[in-house]
Copies of this chain bind each other. A is one copy, B any other.
């Protein structure tokens, strides 16, 4: 683990990169303890605050965790699926909100990915996941539900669909798509949407999964995509006519 003395990048960046490389390459294994901050400072010939800034960078990416006290220190973290989920969601949310991604683009990506899960989910969904979906549909049909709660229930429904595939890697990849894009879509379309229509399609999806009928799930997802896009179009149309 060495840093390049000729590089003009910030020292804390270089040190973070050196440690990151050691972790990725397997020189540092999960749960292994890093040298103490003082030792690292000595090793890299920098001060402790500089080492600390480097460690905080790594901690922000869940690459390490720190523990205080005797026999404490920084340890290589086993990146859990949950940690990865939340990072994925944060990144996706910011990416969408900051880059003015066209609604159609986001919508297309989201449904393409979700449709990829559907056949697997039709095969493998557990009764528990089906029950979750039914419960969310029921919640969505309750009158007096706020828009926020409806959106959250919508997300939970689609999460259950994705988790139904029983593939944690797939669930992880899709966390960003579902959790970041659904609220975005709801925000745009909630003024125009018909909850009945959505609930009907959700029911169709749940029925399809119940009967392990991948085909009909796919059809319903396509219909939901079409409906969502049409809503966005209507909203845009209305906005245009209002400004004129």
Q: Which residues of A line the B interface, CB within 8 A?
A: 12, 16, 20, 23-24, 26, 30, 49, 52-54, 56-61, 63, 78-81, 84, 87-88, 90-99, 101, 105-106, 108-110, 112-113, 115-117, 120, 165, 167-170, 172-173, 176-177
Partner of A108, one of B98, B105, B167, B177: B167
By a CB distance below 8 angstroms, the chain B residues around A92 are: 84
Contact B113 A63 (CB under 8 A): no
- The residue from B52, B94, B108 contacting A53, defined by CB atoms under 8 A apart: B52
**Residue contacts A-B, CB under 8 angstroms, 15 given:** A12-B56, A20-B90, A26-B97, A52-B53, A53-B53, A56-B60, A57-B59, A61-B61, A61-B91, A79-B98, A81-B99, A88-B91, A105-B167, A106-B169, A108-B170
With CB as the reference atom, state the residue of chain B lying closest to A117: B112
Residues of B within 8 A of A91 (CB): 61, 79, 84, 87-88
Q: Decide: A99 and B115 in contact? CB cutoff 8 A.
A: no
Q: Which residues of B contact A30 (CB under 8 A)?
A: 98
Q: Contacts A57-B60, A60-B57 known; A78 to B98 CB distance under 8 Å?
A: yes
Contact of A63 among B16, B63, B94 (CB under 8 A): B94
Residue from B23, B81, B99, B165 in contact with A95 in the complex, judged by beta carbons closer than 8 Å: B81
A98 to B167 Cα, complex, angstroms: 16
Q: Are B106 and A112 interface neighbours, CB within 8 A?
A: no
Tell me, in angstroms, the Cα distance from A53 to B12 when the chains sit together. Answer: 11
Chain B residues near A16 (CB-CB < 8 A): 60
- Separation of A36 and B93 alpha carbons in the complex (Å): 26
Contact present for A101 and B169 (CB under 8 Å): yes
Contact A99 B116 (CB under 8 A): no
Whole-angstrom CA separation of A105 from B12 in the bound complex? 37
> Nearest B residue to A80 by beta-carbon distance?
B99
CB atoms of B60 and A173 under 8 A apart: no
- A58: chain B residues at CB < 8 Å are 60
| Given A56-B57, A79-B99, A113-B173, 11 more pairs with CB closer than 8 A | A23-B94, A24-B90, A49-B49, A49-B52, A60-B61, A79-B95, A79-B98, A88-B88, A106-B169, A108-B169, A112-B120
Task: State the CA gap A30–B26 with chains docked (Å).
Answer: 37
